[in-house]
Structure 1
Amino acid sequence: MTDAPSYGFDTLQIHAGARPDPATGARQTPIYQTTSYVFRDADHAAALFNLQEVGFIYSRLTNPTVAVLQERLATLEGGVGAVCCSSGHAAQIMALFPLMAPGCNVVASTRLYGGTVTQFSQTIKRFGWSAKFVDTDDLDAVRDAIDENTRAVFCESIANPGGYVTDIRAMADVADAAGVPLIVDNTTATPYLCNPIAQGATLVVHSTTKYLTGNGTVTGGVVIDSGNFDWSASDKFPSLSAPEPAYHGLKFHETFGSLAFTFHGIAIGLRDLGMTMNPQAAHYTLMGIETLSLRMQRHCENAMKVASWLEQDERVDYVTYAGLPSSPYYERAQACYPKGTGGLFTFAVKGGYEACIKLVDALEIFSHVANLGDTRSLIIHSASTTHRQLTPEQQEAAGAGPNVVRISIGIEDADDLIADLDQALTKACG
Structure 2
Amino acid sequence: MLKVNAFQPEHAESLGSTERHLIERRQRLLGPAYQLFYDNPLHLVRGAGTWLYDSDGRAYLDLYNNVASVGHSHPRVVEALSRQAAALNTHTRYLHEGVLDYAEKLLATMPAQLSNVMFTCTGSEANDLALRIARDYTGGTGVIVTRYAYHGMTAAIAELSPSVGDYVPLGRDVRVVDAPLHSPEDPQRTGRVFAAQVRAALADMQRHGIRPAALLVDTLFTSDGVFADPAGFLREAVEAVRAAGGVFIADEVQPGFGRTGTHMWGFQRHGLVPELVTMGKPMGNGHPLAGLTVRPEILERFGRNASYFNTFGGNPVSAAAGLAVLQVIEEEGLQNNALRVGALLKEGLEGVAREHASLGQVRGAGLFIGVDVLDAAGLPDGAAARRIVNLLRDEGMLIGVSGAQNNTLKIRPQLCFSAENVAQFLGALQRVLRLL
Matched, 1:206 2:279: yes
| Inter-CA distance 357–107: structure 2 relative to 1 (3 Å threshold) | closer
How many aligned positions are there?
303
Aligned to 1:100, the other structure's residue is in SS state helix
Moved more, 180-189 or 26-35: 26-35
2: CA distance, partners of 1:343 / 1:179: 32
Q: 2:351 is matched with which residue: 309, 313, 327?
A: 309
Task: Tell me which residue corresponds to 1:31.
Answer: 84
Task: Give 2:431's aligned amino acid.
Answer: Q
Q: 2:292 is matched with which residue: 196, 213, 223?
A: 223
2: CA distance, partners of 1:405 / 1:120: 23
1: CA distance, partners of 2:272 / 2:289: 25
Q: TM-score, normalised by structure 2?
A: 0.58
Q: Is the 8 A contact 1:353 1:403 kept in 2?
A: yes
Matched, 1:138 2:194: yes
Question: Within 5 Å, which residues of 2 pair with 1:109-258?
Answer: 109-110=146-147, 112-113=149-150, 115=152, 118-120=158-160, 130-135=173-178, 137-146=193-202, 147=206, 148-161=210-223, 162-165=225-228, 167-190=233-256, 192=258, 193-194=262-263, 196=267, 199-207=272-280, 209-210=281-282, 212-213=283-284, 215=285, 217-227=286-296, 239=302, 244=305
2: CA distance, partners of 1:422 / 1:346: 14
| Inter-CA distance 310–350: structure 2 relative to 1 (3 Å threshold) | farther
Task: Tell me which residue corresponds to 2:18.
Answer: none
Task: Give 1:344's aligned amino acid.
Answer: I
| Inter-CA distance 138–27: structure 2 relative to 1 (3 Å threshold) | closer
1: CA distance, partners of 2:318 / 2:395: 25
| Inter-CA distance 348–106: structure 2 relative to 1 (3 Å threshold) | same
Task: Tell me which residue corresponds to 2:143.
Answer: 106
After superposition, the CA RMSD in angstroms is 3.8
Q: 1:67 is matched with which residue: 100, 118, 122?
A: 100
CA offsets per residue over residues 344-387 of structure 1, 9 Å max, x none?
Answer: 3233154834433332222259877xxxxxxxxx41134xxxxx
Task: Give 2:425's aligned amino acid.
Answer: L
Structure 1: where are the runs of 5+ without partners? 1-25, 38-55, 233-237, 247-266, 323-339, 369-377, 383-398
Aligned to 1:418, the other structure's residue is in SS state helix
Q: TM-score, normalised by structure 1?
A: 0.59
Give the superposition deviation at 1:127. Answer: 12
Aligned to 1:300, the other structure's residue is in SS state helix
CA offsets per residue over residues 189-247 of structure 1, 9 Å max, x none?
Answer: 3264345375132111122x23x55x5x22332211134x5679xxxxx646xx72x6x
2: CA distance, partners of 1:286 / 1:342: 22
| Inter-CA distance 402–231: structure 2 relative to 1 (3 Å threshold) | closer
1: CA distance, partners of 2:385 / 2:145: 29
Task: Give 2:215's aligned amino acid.
Answer: V
Task: Give 1:199's aligned amino acid.
Answer: L
2: CA distance, partners of 1:280 / 1:347: 40
| Inter-CA distance 69–295: structure 2 relative to 1 (3 Å threshold) | farther
| Inter-CA distance 75–82: structure 2 relative to 1 (3 Å threshold) | same
Aligned to 2:353, the other structure's residue is in SS state helix
Task: Give 2:389's aligned amino acid.
Answer: V
2: CA distance, partners of 1:307 / 1:275: 41
CA offsets per residue over residues 121-174 of structure 1, 9 Å max, x none?
Answer: 589x99987421113643132123234422111112111142202723223311
Give the superposition deviation at 1:103. Answer: 8.1
2: CA distance, partners of 1:69 / 1:206: 14
Aligned to 2:363, the other structure's residue is in SS state coil
Give the superposition deviation at 1:311. Answer: 2.2
Task: Tell me which residue corresponds to 2:431.
Answer: 423
Aligned to 2:345, the other structure's residue is in SS state helix
Task: Tell me which residue corresponds to 2:390.
Answer: 361
Task: Give 2:391's aligned amino acid.
Answer: A
Q: Is the 8 A contact 1:31 1:283 kept in 2?
A: yes
CA offsets per residue over residues 81-139 of structure 1, 9 Å max, x none?
Answer: 2112111111110111123379822112235237578441589x999874211136431
Task: Give 1:425's aligned amino acid.
Answer: L
Task: Give 1:223's aligned amino acid.
Answer: L
